[in-house]
């Protein structure tokens, strides 16, 4: 599966400034809704899912989050990517009592259950390589972000 095909330029946000997780989700939601990628329930459902099943991942000395929700709230599949000007706190996937400062967020908007599993497996290959995460954080344009996702074809 080529994850690059799911990237939407309007949902690649570089050096994004936001106060917290809620504001980040709202930015992605507003853009996705305006482009008819999601239905009106998407924001509520992604926040609910994140509160029950947190998506923060601490990998060595950096942290990434992969928020997503149920497929029925996604009209057109997408992957949204944000590099953050200042880290945002996310609860850890493997220990919800702990938080981590996340600098890269990859939101999945996939509406085929098998796509979500495959995408998560591929994303893990991307984010477990610190070089990829550093490259994303240094990206100056959307094509640089696409480069990281293209390499896994």
Q: How many residues does the chain have?
A: 153
What are 39-73's pLDDT values in tens digits? 999 999 999 999 999 999 999 899 999 999 889 99
Question: What's the rounded Cα separation, in Å, for the pair 47 and 147?
Answer: 29
Phi, psi (rounded to 5 degrees) for 124: -60, -40
DSSP structure class, residue 70: -
User: Cβ distance 63 to 136 under 8 Å?
Assistant: no
Sketch out the chain's domains with CATH numbers: 3-150 (3.40.930.10)
Task: Kindly report the pTM of this predicted structure.
Answer: 0.94
């Amino acid at each position: 599966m080529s994850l690059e095909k799911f990237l939407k330029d309007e949902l690649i946000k570089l050096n994004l400034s936001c106060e917290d997780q809620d504001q980040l989700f709202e930015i992605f939601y507003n853009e996705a809704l305006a482009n008819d990628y999601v239905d009106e329930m998407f924001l509520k459902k992604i926040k609910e899912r994140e509160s029950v099943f947190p998506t923060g991942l601490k990998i060595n000395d950096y942290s990434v989050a992969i928020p997503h929700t149920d497929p029925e709230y996604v009209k057109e599949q997408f992957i949204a990517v944000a590099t953050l000007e200042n880290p945002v706190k996310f609860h850890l996937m493997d220990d919800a009592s702990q938080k981590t400062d996340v600098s890269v967020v990859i939101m999945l908007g996939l509406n085929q259950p098998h796509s979500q599993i495959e995408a998560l497996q591929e994303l893990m290959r991307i984010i477990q390589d610190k070089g990829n995460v550093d490259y994303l954080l240094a990206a100056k344009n959307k094509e640089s972000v696409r480069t990281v996702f293209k390499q896994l074809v």
